Amino acid sequence: MESLACLNGELMPVDEARIPIWDRGFLFGDAVYEVMRIYQGRCWLEEAHLGRLQRSLASMEFPAVDLTELVDRTNRTIDASGVLEGTAYLHITRGVAPRAHAFPDSSVPPTELIVIRNYDDAQPARNRESGVATLSHPDLRWKRCDVKSTNLLANVMAHEVAHRAGCFEAILVGQDGLVTEATHSSVLWVRDGRLEGTPEGNGILPGTTRQFLIKAAGAAGLPFADAQLSLDDLKQADEVLLVGTTIEVFPVIRIDDAPIGGGQPGSVTRRLQTIFREAVERWLAPQPV
């Protein structure tokens, strides 16, 4: 099977899943979500994703969701789908109620959608090898980018500009002239052998891949430091990379017209790719009893 949905606890083919027009996710984008990578039928960094989902829900004052049951439903959907290499999309909205800005009555249950899909890693694998071109774009998003909300219009618009220019991603630059992140991935860079990135806060999504890599790189003797860079300074960095759940680690070889690292993936990025891959392999390896 290529994909399978679980809508409010009920397994169904994706094409048969239906959301009522009064769903607040549809009307207001009143919803939060997560995307996990499934390797060999198991969700990578599951705890980190669920922790972030819980923070997103709490920040937006959603009713509490039982995460253990959500994990159970996710795993049941993965098993029923038969997907081994894929993604798990979790989407929770504030539920269905006639359109009004005020939150619905507390008796209104959230809408919960889980979609399990196959993921074809062939093109991403090529991008990991060759590196990708990017375009800079103003960061026009709201001021709570730490919440993984489905309100992605500013991300979509910026990404489309990059896409039409033949680029993989748009690197977003805030009103203060400082780089934040990309439309659906985190941006890291290397200067003088040190891994750096924009500090966590309201301006960026706390990326699970970014957090994982920062920790793993530190353990491998590659320290990380928070830094705030203008676009011009980023273009002068020794290496720039994009990291995220499905892409893992992509070298950036161009921003606008500026080649990065001479237009070739750099050695620290290569090391981070190896660190990431080896960690996944270790996690997948059968545990000795």
The reply to whether 209 sits near ligand PLP by the rule CB under 6 A is yes
Shortest spacing between CB 242 and ligand PLP, in angstroms: 9
Shortest spacing between CB 198 and ligand PLP, in angstroms: 10
The reply to whether 208 sits near ligand PLP by the rule CB under 6 A is yes
The residue (of 95 and 183) whose beta carbon lies closer to ligand PLP is 183
Burial (0-12, 13-18, 19+ Cβ within 10 Å), 225? exposed
Could you give the CA distance from residue 130 to residue 284 in angstroms, rounded to a whole number? 26
Helix axes 46-59, 67-81, angle to 10 degrees: 130
Shortest spacing between CB 202 and ligand PLP, in angstroms: 13
Q: Note whether 264 and 253 are within 8 A (CB).
A: yes
Of 49, 150, 40, 29, the closest CA to residue 99 belongs to: 29
CA 235 to chain centre: 23
Could you give the CA distance from residue 85 to residue 76 in angstroms, rounded to a whole number? 16
* 19-38: contacts with ligand PLP (CB under 6 A): 35
Shortest spacing between CB 182 and ligand PLP, in angstroms: 6
From candidates 185, 198, 269, 273, binder to ligand PLP by CB under 6 A: 185
- Count of positions on this chain that bind ligand PLP (CB under 6 A): 12
Looking only at the bridges linking them, the beta strands covering 194-197 and 224-226 are parallel
- Mask 213-252, x = binds ligand PLP (CB under 6 A)? -------------------------------xx-------
Shortest spacing between CB 44 and ligand PLP, in angstroms: 10
Residue 281: how many CB atoms within 10 A of its CB?
A: 10
The reply to whether 184 sits near ligand PLP by the rule CB under 6 A is yes
The residue (of 32 and 205) whose beta carbon lies closer to ligand PLP is 205
Active site residue 215: no
Q: Quick one: tokens of 15? A: 């094409």
Which own/partner contact pairs does 62-69 have at CB distance under 8 Å and 24+ positions apart? 62/32, 62/92, 62/94, 62/110, 63/106, 63/109, 63/110, 65/92, 65/110, 65/112
The residue (of 244 and 265) whose beta carbon lies closer to ligand PLP is 244
Supply the residues annotated as catalytic: 148
Q: Which residues bind ligand PLP (CB under 6 A)?
A: 35, 181, 184-186, 205, 207-210, 244-245
